[in-house]
Amino acid sequence: MKTEEAYRILNEADLLIGESEIASAIDRLAAEITARLRERNPAVICIMNGGLIFCGQLLTRLVFPLTVDYVHATRYGCETSGGELNWLVRPQSDLSGRTVLLVDDIFDEGLTLSALVDFCRERGAREVLSAALLEKRRSRRVSAELDFKGFEVDNRFVFGCGLDYKGYWRNAPGIYAVS
- Measured distance CA(9)–CA(157) in Å, rounded: 12
Provide the 3-class DSSP secondary structure of residue 78. Answer: coil
Nearby residues of 94 by Cβ (< 8 Å), 6 or more positions away:
123
Per the model's pLDDT, the better-predicted residue between 144 and 12 turns out to be: 12
β-bridge mates for residue 151, sequence order = 134
Q: Which fold has domain 3-72+85-177?
A: Rossmann fold (3.40.50)
Phi, psi of 114 (to 5 degrees): -60, -45
Percent of the chain with pLDDT over 90: 80
pLDDT, mean of residues 153-163: 96
Length of the chain: 179
Active site residues: 108
pLDDT band at 24 (very low <50, low <70, confident <90, very high): very high
What local confidence, expressed as pLDDT, does residue 104 receive? 96
pLDDT band at 17 (very low <50, low <70, confident <90, very high): very high
What local confidence, expressed as pLDDT, does residue 145 receive? 86
Nearby residues of 88 by Cβ (< 8 Å), 6 or more positions away:
48, 72, 73, 74
What local confidence, expressed as pLDDT, does residue 82 receive? 56
Closest CA to 68 of 33, 49, 92, 39: 92
Instruction: For the chain, give every domain's residue range.
Output: 3-72+85-177
- Strand positions, DSSP E, the chain: 14-17, 43-48, 67-74, 86-89, 99-107, 127-136, 148-153, 158-159, 175-177
The answer, yes or no, to whether residue 166 has pLDDT greater than 80, is yes
Per residue in 67-111, pLDDT (tens digit) is 999 999 876 555 555 567 788 999 999 999 999 999 999 998 888
- Measured distance CA(105)–CA(121) in Å, rounded: 21
